[in-house]
């Protein structure tokens, strides 16, 4: 069974697998396309003059698969290996072997023979993309952009935030030397500003947040493990201390003779236990008592610390039944034991799954 920590770790790894390629290679983060928008895209794609299509930033491959089923020969470009593998599996499962998804930055792809370009980008990349499309695409080729206008182009159709453009129709941008520089691979052209885009800032913040969460989760797990280890060591020390008390007084920490079993449990931090301060003479209940002769033979203190790592006392119970209230564990038979109520700090007689105990028989 996966614990909450396991699921959190898996979610973090998936998140990093989806986001880190964006931070390294640039572009848009993966967002799945809805069925409704996909249907609209296919309707607009029917206006393309031929059957060769590309999906720039193809994500999980659903658009590549849909276009292939509509009769296009499609190539998807994606920089996230996880999404590329998933996309290829999707195409193989649906028997669409004439189309593919490449693990490649689409800026270096040659679009000269393409009839249809589909791009789900972000605003900051659109000016550079507009220049690349204007230089490389043949006349009549169709471009479908989701959510963002292609700067300097006039949309021939617009539906559900999908903009359809046709090369040679409404192209008003003049391709100057500076515009052509935008098509250089690897984004080598100089920046016009010194700041970061909003998406870059959000990605960095997201990654920092994820890494911080991973650190906190790992630290909490390590701390709980160290607490458990310390409690187990304390219980062994308490076992030895009780053995010394019994050797000197012939009594359990509750003032009952050590051969007695069914007698009350006791908080080992109290004087009744007789481990650190000497016990107080008198009746301890259920027929148990500390007498003057017990104090005369008492040679404590037998231990220094009697609080568990969560700041709660340890207990002694002569008829402790481990896992009595734990569904996932089989309850033990009754036996003398020292124990902590563990991280959940459940109170007396709530013997549950996270108790930390040491049986003395």
Supply angle C-alpha 14, 24, 182, rounded to 5: 135
pLDDT, tens digit (0-9, with 9 covering 90-100), for 200-209: 567 678 778 8
> Residue 143: which pLDDT band, with cuts at 50, 70 and 90?
very high
pLDDT at 189 over 70: no
pLDDT digit string (tens) for 241-289? Answer: 999 999 999 888 888 887 766 667 788 988 888 888 888 888 777 778 8
Give the pLDDT confidence of 331-359 residue by residue, as tens digits: 777 888 899 988 887 655 556 677 889 98
Q: Which CATH class is domain 4-195?
A: alpha beta
The maximal CA–CA distance of the chain, rounded, in angstroms, is 109
pLDDT of amino acid 148: 87
**According to CATH, where is 3.40.50.150 located in the chain?**
4-195
Question: Can you identify the CATH homologous superfamily of domain 209-359?
Answer: Glycoprotein, Type 4 Pilin (3.30.700.10)
pLDDT at residue 117 is higher than 90: yes
DSSP 56: E
Q: What integer pLDDT is reported at residue 48 of this predicted model?
A: 83
pLDDT in tens, 45-87: 888 878 899 999 888 899 999 999 999 999 999 988 888 888 8
Q: In what order do the strands lie in the sheet with 52-56?
A: 100-103, 73-78, 52-56, 116-119, 142-146, 162-166, 157-159
Choose between 179 and 14: higher pLDDT: 14
Residue ranges, comma separated, of all CATH 3.30.700.10 domains in the chain are 209-359
Residue 16: what pLDDT? Answer: 53
Q: What is the pLDDT of residue 199?
A: 61
């Amino acid at each position: 069974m996966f614990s909450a920590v396991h699921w959190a770790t898996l979610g973090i790894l998936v998140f990093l697998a989806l986001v880190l390629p964006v931070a390294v290679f640039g572009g848009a983060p993966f967002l799945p396309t809805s069925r409704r928008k996909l249907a609209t895209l296919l309707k607009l794609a029917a206006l393309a003059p031929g059957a060769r299509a590309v999906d720039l930033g193809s994500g999980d491959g659903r658009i590549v698969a849909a276009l292939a089923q509509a009769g296009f020969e499609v190539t998807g470009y994606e920089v996230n290996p996880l999404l590329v593998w998933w996309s290829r599996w999707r195409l193989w499962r649906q028997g669409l072997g004439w189309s593919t998804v490449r693990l490649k930055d689409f800026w270096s792809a040659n679009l000269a023979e393409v009839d249809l370009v589909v791009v789900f980008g972000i605003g900051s990349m659109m000016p550079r993309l507009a220049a690349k499309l204007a230089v490389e695409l043949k006349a009549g080729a169709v471009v479908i952009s989701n959510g963002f206008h292609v700067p300097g182009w006039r949309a021939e159709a617009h539906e559900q935030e999908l903009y359809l453009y046709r090369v040679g129709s409404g192209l008003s941008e003049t391709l100057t030397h500076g515009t052509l520089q935008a098509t250089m691979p690897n984004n080598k052209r100089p920046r016009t500003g010194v700041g970061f885009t909003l998406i870059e800032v959000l990605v960095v913040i997201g990654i920092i947040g994820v890494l911080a969460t991973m650190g906190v989760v790992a630290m909490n797990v390590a701390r709980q493990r160290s607490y458990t280890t310390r409690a187990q060591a304390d219980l062994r020390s308490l076992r030895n201390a009780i053995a010394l008390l019994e050797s000197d007084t012939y009594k359990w920490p509750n003032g009952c003779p050590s051969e007695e079993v069914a007698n009350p449990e006791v908080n080992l931090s109290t004087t009744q236990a007789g481990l650190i301060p000497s016990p107080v003479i008198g009746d301890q209940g259920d027929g148990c008592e500390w007498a003057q002769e017990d104090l005369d033979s008492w040679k404590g203190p037998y231990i220094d610390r009697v609080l568990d790592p969560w700041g709660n006392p340890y207990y002694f119970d002569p008829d402790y039944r481990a896992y009595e209230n734990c569904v996932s564990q089989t309850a033990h038979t009754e036996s003398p034991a020292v124990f902590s109520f563990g991280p959940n700090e459940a109170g007396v007689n709530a013997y549950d799954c996270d108790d930390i105990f040491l049986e003395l028989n």
